[in-house]
Amino acid sequence: MYDFSLQLLLAVFAVFILTCLGYGLLRLRALRADAAEEYADRTATKPATVRGVSEAEFTRLYVNSFAPRWAFYLAAGCLIAIVLSPVALTLIPAIYDQIWRATGAHDWAGRGGYVFMFTVFFGVVAFGALPAFVLARLHHIRAPEPFTHALASARGEPIPEDTGWRRRPKWARRVRPDTDVDADGGSDTGRKDSADGSAGGGDGGGSD
């Protein structure tokens, strides 16, 4: 029963790894085709944007900027976790036995108990979390620069300033006249004045 469950788990991991790798490779192929079309379009319509940049260099920058790096890192993390699992299942019980004997070899903490199973379970999780943390750091540190910046550097131009939308700071209050309120207030005041005037006019006519 346990052997079948282990084989099934390994099969699921293998399918997941192959799926990530297959998706990543297909996306790379599609990106190369997109880069060729983009380069041809820029050469015809916007030649200044690719001035001094060869098609091979443009393709490399394009693919590096838009490649699905997460798919390859995820596949590598799963593969490392599978490789480290037998090591973890060997080292963790051995270290646990040493600590168990050094603390008095209590029956309630022996192999097969909840303490032992708890230690093995979270020890294996820690063995998988450590390479995941390392790969996540590498994915962040080795992130490529934006494509527009890389293309500007390839042309020998300064990196363009970021003119995208930025969140307004809390201390920067937005000051603008509320024309709707003023218009409504003015119209209300005008209606009130006209009403008062008409009322006054009626009284004046009566007195005359």
Which tokens in the block code for residue 26? 């297909």
Q: Pick from 39, 80, 44: which is nearest to 59 by CA? A: 39
CA distance 202 to 205: 5
Q: At what angle do helices 69-102 and 2-45 cross, to 10 degrees?
A: 150
Q: Residues in the chain with pLDDT < 70? A: 1-6, 162-208
pTM beyond 0.85, yes or no: no
Taking the CB of residue 35, how many other CB atoms lie within 10 A of it?
20
Q: Tens digit of pLDDT for each residue in 144-162?
A: 989 989 999 999 888 877 6
At 49, give phi and psi (nearest 5°).
Answer: -75, -15
Convert the pLDDT of each residue in 86-119 to its tens digit. 888 889 889 888 888 888 888 887 787 888 888 8
The structure tokens listed for 185 are 């207030």
Per-residue pLDDT at 173: 62
